[in-house]
Amino acid sequence: MDFADKLRFVRDKLLMSQEMLAHELGISFGTCNRLENRKTEPSLPTRRSFMEFCDKRGIKFPDEVK
């Protein structure tokens, strides 16, 4: 599961729009959209913020579940 898939997975799981998730992560809607559509790769701070967001909500990704 790549970063774009993880973004979509989290949004679907939490019933969030790209705009809502972008706000939570402290990034712009455009950045969130480009990340989810594989037009750009996330910066390290964005990746870290996303993983902290997921950890706080107990979100596990299908490829991490054993």
CATH number at residue 36: 1.10.260
In the chain, what are the helix, strand and coil shares in percent, each to the nearest 5? Answer: 60, 0, 40
* In-domain check, residue 7: yes
Confidence of residue 63 (pLDDT cuts 50, 70, 90): confident
Q: Above 70 in pLDDT, residue 66? A: no
Share of the chain above pLDDT 90, in %: 89
* In-domain check, residue 52: yes
**Mean model confidence pLDDT for the chain:** 93
Q: Above 90 in pLDDT, residue 59? A: yes
- Answer positive or negative: Cα dihedral of 32, 14, 1, 50: positive
pLDDT at 65: 54
Which domain covers residue 18, as residue numbers? 3-56
Cα 38-35-17 angle, rounded to 5 deg = 120
* In-domain check, residue 21: yes
Number of structural domains in the chain: 1
